[in-house]
Structure 1
């Protein structure tokens, strides 16, 4: 029996049958853990302290109270992140997810605090609602996790994409630091843009030039270098460091015993329900990045950690907690997948929360520098969403409606946040956040289109007379009907059609397409040779209706001198015993067909047979896409528009 032990990042193999440690569970050397963890803290810091700053300003708290809120926030963030990454029993998802105060709670908390009179009294009312909402979240985690069937890739991909895109204005605001549209010639604005673009350019440059460790700490290097340049030019200030104390701590219920209001509690429970949706999207995004399949129990563990962290936040003078999407982007960007890096970041945050002077140093990073780094990280979150959406069956018009509507609503509120003012106070929790509105829209539309009432199956082909063949029809077809409908994809080769037919029922058009790919790989050598020989020779004057020859009209073979093509086709068949097969959709031009064909003459027969089967799979893909597009002209036009929007 083979085991693989992992110590400080080094692996040793005991014997055969090695069982490798998953990158998520890999324990890196202490120096790397500290460096990667510090990078997470720097990327997270501005967002972490922003909520207490906004709340303190709205409630008219004193500077001393604000400092305590910031320290309490950092301290609790560290504890919450360790709980989520390490896990305690069925609490914590054990993924590289860093915890932070949710921005969804900002407006409701301000409303709760002002309703209680502001100041310390308002803060105590907030803490009462946070405590109860944390217990509520912990209690309903298991029930919420059972709803994961309502979070297919069309929902999670939409939510992740919206999160990434909706966060970009946060980075933009850091860059311009309040400069409006009429200040484009302001030298301060130009300097801020220089800091941001310089930081971003350095991060991109490091990732292009370097590999390994240097590539993974590109964001950290960008932040440090940008801060040093700003300091040298007099634009980074660390005057608060001298005024900050060396040691500080947060004691439970520092501001007094919490007070409890039914209205405040209900508002905070609504916030936590929305936060559960955001956490679900972040967990799926992280699972996508680290290549771990996310099960319902994983969602339950993540949400329990959110509930426990929120309750602890109420005790330690902080606020509701959730997985921080900003740091999901950092994991995607650096590809450092170890959850122990988040543990290291948690330890660093606990230290910063206990060392006001150290926290003041980190707070000195200029906003434009942070904004430049954030652009790369937030956009990386959006890329994860696009990757998830690539698994969605967009031949199904329902899915196009879900994605386009959800992204549209999310961007509306992100671009024009003032629209929330048109709604009652309770509704502003939803309409005040593009992420929240987009997420709720994706979930609701998925239920309406794919779960409630008659679910319309996508059309995959047409019948004579204009009637359409839907996926549901395909799953009911006889083998003869199946062969008649889809035979053209594979030159009507019987054994391919029979094996593809045997893989019914098909969940979606992606599964139907994959069935032909899988069937191609199951053929014997004789069957595969039969399939290869069912294709016509390039340049031949065979049946004018031959689909393969029509395919190659796209490459210009019907308008060129075919002497060279015939020469190539003859030499190829003589050498390998079957026709040269090339997917015209990929080569596009006559010259490239010739170049590709002659280069393949050097292959061995075994390699060339495999290459030809791959080309047949590509040809079947192109034909399938045309078949579905002709059956779904409206859906196809919407899909093209969607692809162009995110190209």
Structure 2
């Protein structure tokens, strides 16, 4: 059957670019709005209270905020020209700006005078971000997985206290962690989301968060714990007009402060873009970061004009994308349209605002934790045999959690530094970037230690410069008998990291001829052999088999294992090879050997090669652990638990 040229040219759409049917767009979009709403309105509430705005002014700020959030989200998700990353990223007012804006507003006399000075700084900072975007995006090489994974993990973990506060009644006077009813609403909503995702498939599973929020709210309303009185008190229409409070005022100090805020949020946006790219399985490049930051800048400038504030990608909704696996960016665009409508109809906003904090907190616990899971997935690609990466992640996460757990720490530093110490996400992100620069980009680096002993370590760059004989002598212990595996791995230099070096040995093993592979399998000693216990087969074999006591078996155990290994050799013609370190006891080793006796010869040759690869992997870890005393200490600790 021939394929027409037209059919050959048709390529399936990426899930990100899929336009779903209108009903699904509406439902999924509304789910995003519900997940986002509390975080969206908290900034104007905090600011209005701090600089002394009245109730009517606060209502207008909330309407303006939602209206501009909708526009900003459409810009970011749909995109035009070189603006908007075209990923399912929803835009919201950045929490990083709260403290600086309060400081700016208070210094300018509070009230509307302070608000106008804030808007002047916001407009200029937005323009600055828009024009600096292509230059900032060139720094993408300073965001390897060790940085992006750390930032994404910190974002998820640092947001969990926000969810926990909501679950306990909401920050402020209603906060009461001892309230059993709050706990029941939060855990009940979380349980509903989990049950729906476990029981249902397809569409219902993707709206689990929405269903949990709606059901939780209905239950709270029937029990008298959800109040919708504000709906009747709200007007039907509330249009925000440009410069509603007056013409913006420009202060150099305020502008500089807000530019610093936008530089920090640029780091957070970069992390969110990478996180979303991971979730939707779309590669993120330099131009994508530039487009996302231009959208941030344009949205922030619009915020200053339309009586709102600085905008950035909202990490809360990144978690929702991961949880539901609905990857279409047009869902976020639909959410943006819904927010525009809510911003124009205060009654609609009042309905959404009626969701009880504990119900929202229960859903947020699931969403925010999934952001951290994305960070874990990214960090799984990091070479943690390189202890520099351990230091980067541990220090960044540690500082982020310190500030998150003890927010008053910010008061211990000068006012200019409070913008950094006031947010765990900000402090952790900056720390990860800074330490990555120090460890990986400043000064001569010989790469991670891969062999040798403390004080006489062999590092990756030295391995790349070795002669064939030196390379063979260093890594000969990874395999028994013939040295062709190590010799073939040498030809795959240079190695970019320890993962690459480890992979070279595996490729050499599985890429060899069948005769070479049989020769190698035949070189491995019998399990439980006396020669292994005495060290005659090399210290590596003694260490391998000693992990579950095969070097000190009782007489009846020795006889039982010897009978198995002899039966195996008689049937297949080569020794029984098992990676003993994968097992917890002598019994499980024996059980695997007995099961493998039932296999065919070709299947067992392949199985033996897999076991040899596992053994070599453990021995490689031993080399790295010996060269790295801190890693070695961790290895000894884990071994002692066996």
Answer yes or no: same fold by TM over 0.5: yes
Give distance in 2, aligned partners of 1:206 and 1:626. 45
Per-residue deviation at 1:184?
A: 7.3
Report the more deviating stretch, 384-393 or 189-198. 384-393
Q: Distance in 2 between matches of 1:17 and 1:589?
A: 57
Cα deviation for residue 180 of structure 1 reads 9.7
Residue from 24, 45, 53 that aligns with 2:16:
24
Does 2:190 correspond to 1:190? no
SS of the residue corresponding to residue 426 of structure 1 reads: helix
Which residue pairs with 2:610 in the alignment?
Answer: 614
Q: CA deviation at 1:182?
A: 14
CA shift for structure 1 position 178: 6.0
Q: Kindly tell me: are residues 62 and 446 of structure 1, through their superposed partners in 2, closer, same or farther at Cα, counting changes over 3 Å? A: same
How many Å apart are 1:456 and its aligned residue? 5.1
1:495 to 476, 484, 509: 484
Q: Is the 8 A contact 2:170 2:358 kept in 1?
A: no
CA distance in 2, matches of 1:185, 1:257: 44
Equivalences for residues 368-379 of structure 1 within 5 A: 368-379=358-369
Moved more, 592-601 or 54-63: 592-601
1:80 corresponds to: 72
Q: What RMSD, in angstroms, separates the aligned Cα atoms of the two structures?
A: 2.6
Alignment map for 1:29-68 (pairs within 5 Å) = 29-68=21-60
Task: Tell me by how many angstroms 1:305 deviates.
Answer: 0.9
CA shift at 1:43, angstroms?
0.7
The separation in 2 between residues aligned to 1:381 and 1:244, in whole angstroms, is 35
Indicate conservation of the 8 Å contact 2:526/2:575, yes or no: yes
Residue 234 of structure 2 corresponds to: 244
Aligned mate of 1:554, from 527, 547, 553:
547
- Could you say if the C-alpha distance between residues 413 and 640 of structure 1 is closer, same or farther in structure 2, counting changes exceeding 3 Å? farther
The number of aligned residues is: 631
- Aligned residue in 2 for 1:9: none
Which consecutive unaligned segments of at least 5 residues does structure 2 have?
none
Q: Secondary structure at the match of 2:416?
A: coil
Q: Which moved more, 1:548-557 or 1:173-182?
A: 173-182
State the secondary structure of the residue aligned to 1:474.
Answer: helix
Deviation at 1:54, TM superposition (A): 0.8
> Please, what TM-score do these two structures have when normalized by structure 2?
0.93
Instruction: Quote the Cα distance in structure 1 between the aligned partners of 2:6 and 2:140.
Output: 40
Q: Paired residue for 1:204?
A: 194
What are the Cα deviations for residues 323-364 of structure 1, in whole angstroms up to 9, with x where unaligned? Answer: 111111111222222212211211211121122111110000
1:387 alignment partner, SS class: helix
When residues 468 and 193 of structure 1 are mapped into structure 2, their CA distance, relative to the original with a 3 A threshold, is same
Q: Deviations over 1:343-400 (max 9, x none)?
A: 1211211121122111110000000111111111111111222222222222222222
Matched, 1:478 2:473: no
Larger deviation: 581-590 or 548-557? 548-557
Q: How far 1:138 moved relative to its partner?
A: 0.7
Measured in 2, the distance between the counterparts of 1:612 and 1:211 equals 40
Contact (CA 8 Å) 1:2, 1:18: kept in 2 or not?
no
The equivalent residue for 2:120 is 128
- Compared with structure 1, are the counterparts of its residues 259 and 185 closer, same or farther at alpha carbon in structure 2 (3 Å cutoff)? closer
1:193 to partner: Cα distance: 1.1
Question: Secondary structure of 1:319's match?
Answer: coil
Contact kept, 8 Å, 1:517 with 1:617, in 2: the verdict is yes
User: Structure 1 589/101 Cα, relative in aligned 2: closer, same or farther at 3 Å?
Assistant: same
Give the alignment's TM-score, normalised by structure 1. Answer: 0.92
Give the Cα separation in 2 of the matches to 1:409 and 1:198: 33
Equivalent of 2:137 in 124, 140, 145:
145
Contact 1:539 1:569 in 2 (8 A): no
Q: Matched residue of 1:293: which SS?
A: coil
Structure 1, gaps ≥5 residues long: 5-12, 643-647
8 Å contact kept, 1:2–1:15: no
* Greater alpha carbon shift after TM alignment, 211-220 vs 265-274: 211-220
Distance 1:181 1:138 in 2: 39
- 2:526 alignment partner, SS class: coil
> Are 1:33 and 1:341, in contact at CA under 8 Å, matched by a contact in 2?
yes
